[in-house]
Structure 1
Amino acid sequence: MTLAEKAPTAAQRIATFTAGLRAQDLPEQVRRTASLHVLDTLGCGLAASALDEAAYVVSGTEEGAGGGPATGIGVAHGLPAAEAAFVNGVLCHALDFDDTHPESVTHVSVAVTPAAFAAGEAAGADGATVLAAVVAGNEVSTRVGAAAGGVFHARGLHPSGVCGVFGAAAAAARARGLDAETTAHALGIAGSMASGLLEFLADGADTKRLHPGWAAQAGITAARLAAHGATGPATVFEGRRGFYATYLNGVEVDLGAGLADLGQRWNTPSIAYKPYPACHYTHAPVDALAEVLREHPLRADEVARVVAFTDKTGVDLVLEPSADKVRPRTPYDAKFSLPYCLASLLVRGSVEVGSFTPDAIADQAVLAVTPRVSYETREYSPRPDAFGGGVRVETTDGRTFEAELRYQRGGAENPMTEDDVRVKYRANAGLALSGGAVSALEDSVTRLGELPDLGFLAAVRS
């Protein structure tokens, strides 16, 4: 068999799909869902900007970057595309309120949307092109991550960074109109930029929120370099020194199976929205406790013990080491503490953006409850990481109440409604914008595929 007759590699198959994708060919549900995820993502970024979360990313970028054609949330002037994507990726993930694809355990939109928008602004693309870029990035990130399930987490890698860079590269390539051959090179280049360590769990450091921003920035850079002639390995995924072989050494991964229905089955509608600004592994137990409290109103002093139910990955992310979880060290650390989230709901009646401030995590009434939270492991789905969970509440007078969710709220099996997502967007965006601007931005994003350009993004500048 000659080189020309060889079967296409995974990167080449992805590139062919990406370069040929058009918004008008997408199923209506995919177009509508993609726009709604963009809206949700922008709302999260606007809320983070208004609350000065990750302010260092704006000031740091302004120090190192000049002007440019792309928009950074909260940045008054235009930025180069890569820097705008970095700012937006970090801010949109900063509150940990952004969407997640359960099967790949990847925060999808916070890498893909910033890359698609920044590359689209730089290229003067219309809304339909950018919408196609968003969908392409979604489909790539989710498939690259799903091929290995939760194994990335077990290796200490953050899929949102290491897998998200490929979705961002695909999105950037589509937004600037690269052909299939050049897009394949962009994906090959992106493989050498894949990064993201979970060591932030050791002390609540800021690095996790940087991962989607770096993925978005790297994706744009990879596409730009490919457009100017740089080459990347065609076997970046399946090669013996490729992405899976090195990052997951010893684990057999078959990305090809996930690509077999690329362009026929769509993952975009299965990306889960977040009802709470905390790690997804806290959500089902929090909702279960809320269900118990609706049926049996209890004061914190009436609760002797709360036993949380989660799977092995949930234990590692939000319950252990116990000493760190009962007294979160930073606001971001608290987002990965199930004892803190459950205690906040029990004491304050809510888990919301304001629950994760320096003053909130020092609330002694909440910290008095966190040591009463223990856990049991359960398996909720044969599929890895369906984010199921629950609680058993034991009262001081001997009563016991239990509730659980096999699938977290916000996912395909237990969905938030479109109205739920829009209400969430309006609350988040309203922290930064006037009511009129919130509505205008919502209308523009909803009609993204019909717009001649991305001029509406001017509303998110400071």
Structure 2
Amino acid sequence: MRNTFHLPAALKAAGIASLLAASHLCAAETIKLGLSIPLSGSGANWGKGSEWLCGRAAEEIKAQGGVKVQGKVYDFECVGYDNKYNAAEGAKVAQALVARDGVKYVAGSIGTAPVRALQSLTERRNVLMFTSAWGTSIKGPNFPLTFSQMNSVNEISEPMIEYVMKLHPGVKTVALLNPNDATGQETEKVAKAAWEKNGVKVLVSDWYPRYVGTARWSPELLTTGLGEDWRFPAFQMYKPYPHCRVMHAPLDLLIDLVARHDIKVEEIESITSYGEGWAYELPCFTNRKLLLQHDAQFCFAHGLAVAAHRIPPGRQWQDEAVVFNPSVMALMNKVQLKTHPTYFQSISADILSRPSRVEIQARGQTFAAEKGFPKGMRSSDPGTYMTNDELAAKFRAFVDGLLPPATIEQVIDSVLNLERVEDFGAVMRLMVRTSA
């Protein structure tokens, strides 16, 4: 399905002009128009067309004298980022457009998953957003600042199916095939209901993967030095904590602060964690309604609360008694998550950096610490490296009580001396539990 933006008409509409007039814009002569669009991957052709169209529209409007609002003349500047047609990149784009660039008007957005991530920010920050995404979950009265730019499956399905039935009245059954992504999943529900409403039975509804594609072909990135250079260790990351990697630097800081200042849980008034902006806005990480044990694994606030209780990192972090501990749950609600003020500048300078800061309010004081890289990765700070002894200690902690001590040491010795291992399958079989 091809997405088309009618930006010049939209910008000339009286409705937009009145919105601009009501927003009390400052004396700046240029209004930024944000674009969250796929410029690479499977939707790149839509995004590139949208980027070109926005730029062309801005040029035409400027050539015609701009837009006059309350006696002032404004031109437009298009600010677009690649959302790669997925939620994670969409969240990063949302932070870049709204939090960093201060965009107040999103002129175009494509892809249900990335638009959901953007919408979670635009609706809260009073940012007007236009979208061509088809998903039903982003439309309706709950999203008063979101406007559709084109007909979607909601408007197309029924009249299209009625037309098909007129041409082929004998149709009794159909099969549906949709992309296995947020757009396809929401489209399938609407299309299936429309077919069934017209008396047609849906025999099967299947999915195909949405692949990430690119026009670039650079095999030398893989083949140069093949068989000679061992690049893997330079990018290897280890996880000291049984929690989402995003939180490892804040966990480092919190654990150190609590231990160094001997801060008791009952003394803590609040914990504020500053970290990766893209993740601190996603509902899957900010959700605090824990229904199942594994919900805690990606709940940032819960992980900090567990760490503040000085529970050693290990399997016990996922024990039911720990996850739903009343003290942990209470402290979780005292945690605030904020984007680190230098996050975007830091990752632009060094893609491996993860600037983090933790502040603990306790005893009428603020205990704070900061770092640029989490433990477990290679960085400009040698202190972030995990030694062989630290990795072995982590393994022992996680399998303690599950494997015999002699087996644990045998596995560690084999992994640290791979050149002496003839069959690594034998090492793996050592870790198979024969009894509960």
- Normalised to the residue count of structure 1, the TM-score between the two structures is 0.43
- Normalised to the residue count of structure 2, the TM-score between the two structures is 0.46
> Relative CO higher for 1 or 2, CA cutoff 8 Å, sep ≥ 6?
1
Larger Rg: 2
Which has the larger share of strand? 2
